Structure 1
Amino acid sequence: MSINKLSIIIPVYNEARTIHQILDLLRELTLVNNIEKEIIIVNDCSTDESVEVIQSYAARHPQMGVRLLQHSVNKGKGAALHTGIREATGEYVVIQDADLEYDPEEYNLLLKPVLRGFADVVYGSRFMGGNPHRILFFWHSIGNAVLTFLSNMFTDLNLTDIETCYKLFRRDIIQGLKLEENRFGFEPEVTAKVSRVPNVRIYEVGISYYGRTYAEGKKIGWRDGFRAIYCIVKYGLFR
């Protein structure tokens, strides 16, 4: 399959310390088959200097064509993704966090089953394959395994990591979903809804994970885990 453009959606909330490093990685990245990169950043009403950093970077590197969209109030990561997805124009859309937990070089791993004509949706799993994985929190890994297990029960998929950031979607599929969750409930919601797309082909590939601690800026907490369980049941039972 031929792809001309990949839309990269980056939700941002108080990531002034790292966003320029992610943009550096994207600037240096060469996608397989020289696929064009469309970079869409959605600032979710940051209270630090994220906007200034992004605007300064975009001015220094106009060839990247960075698009900055802004929320006037903080709505959550899911809401930022909704905004970016609506504006995407590439044949495929990938999600990129603004921190340094994931390596954009691995977009080419996500694209491989698409370019070979096998996949419409690809998840990047932190828990399969032999790629580097930072050792962090035991109970987080147990929580993630429980959420993935519960999600799989309702979707009848056999994913290993529904909470991964790296999700690649065919644009018409992701734009065709009615997404509602404004925070971290986005992950189980989009998984439930994409699993019901007729004849959708979902693949999973192993990726690296350079996780952050809370001291380093990690934001997801136990409340988000309970919300995820609620979303799994809500979108799994009530269609």
Structure 2
Amino acid sequence: MPVHSQLLSVLLPTYNERENLPLAVYLLTKHLDASAMDYEIIIIDDGSPDGTLEAAEQLQKIYGSKRIVLRPRARKLGLGTAYIHGLHHAKGDFIIIMDADLSHHPKFIAEFIRKQREGDYDVVTGSRYIAGGGVHGWDLRRKIMSRGANFLAQILLQPGVSDLTGSFRLYKREVLQHLVERSLSKGYVFQMEMMVRARQLGYSIAEVPITFVDRVYGESKLGGNEIVSYLKGLLQLFAST
């Protein structure tokens, strides 16, 4: 079932993204309108103290409740569970998952759709590490950390994709549903597990080059605790796959 006239659901988990969300939504609507696809943007806010939900409510008034769907949660419960929560409420035949902090530019979605149509792929994943992809705004330390995390994951998990730690993807709805049911991870490792499980279950995966841009506003949520959680999660995933 290639992407054509079906509905596309974009899942946007947010935590303290009041500054970034209006621009992210504007760019999404601009590029999705140009793609001539029917779509909905599902904002899953995890109790942000900075007024992200209020900003989302304003955006819903501007763009309408058919386009902007709000599915907030009372507190921060983690990225993996945010996607699962969003999936429960999504009506789309296809699901896009991406970050709300402008590190993933919506202009690449057209390329995801084109690639999916080309081979009727189950999953199309964005890669910073294939020809045409890249990273902007990171210092050397972040680049080394990212490459190191990806390299370690490649060795342990052998997923067959070049950018396992990325989180900008298009899934067929039923494929994502199946992967989520099989998934054990809930944090940052969730994205990696999706790819490893997809490969194990024989789903077809394609990659498209993307440029990742460091967040425009706000603090990066990747701190020491997240790095420790990543390593723990990676080892658990290695042991369970």
Aligned residue pairs, count: 237
Q: What do the CA deviations read for 1:73-121 (whole angstroms, capped 9, x no partner)?
A: 2212222111112222222111121111111011011122210124211
- Name the CA distance, whole Å, in 1 between partners of 2:34 and 2:94: 14
Q: What do the CA deviations read for 1:163-195 (whole angstroms, capped 9, x no partner)?
A: 222121111111112234332222222222222
- Name the CA distance, whole Å, in 2 between partners of 1:150 and 1:132: 19
Partners of 1:78 and 1:184 within 8 A in 2: yes
Cα 1:153–1:131 shift into 2, 3 Å = closer
- Name the CA distance, whole Å, in 1 between partners of 2:170 and 2:233: 21
Task: State the partner residue of 1:183.
Answer: 187
Partners of 2:32 and 2:39 within 8 A in 1: no
Deviation at 1:145, TM superposition (A): 2.0
TM-score (norm 1): 0.89
What does 1:8-27 align with in structure 2 at a 5 Å threshold? 8-27=10-29
Whether 1:202 and 2:205 are equivalent positions in the alignment is yes
Q: Which amino acid aligns with 1:128?
A: I
Partners of 1:131 and 1:206 within 8 A in 2: yes
Unaligned runs of 5+ in 1: none
- Name the CA distance, whole Å, in 2 between partners of 1:30 and 1:43: 22
Partners of 2:160 and 2:199 within 8 A in 1: no
What does 1:1-239 align with in structure 2 at a 5 Å threshold? 1-3=2-4, 4-30=6-32, 34-62=36-64, 65-130=67-132, 133-177=135-179, 178=181, 179-197=183-201, 199-212=202-215, 216-239=218-241
TM-score (norm 2): 0.88
Cα 1:106–1:174 shift into 2, 3 Å = same
Q: CA RMSD in A?
A: 2.2
Q: Secondary structure at the match of 1:188?
A: helix
Cα 1:149–1:74 shift into 2, 3 Å = same
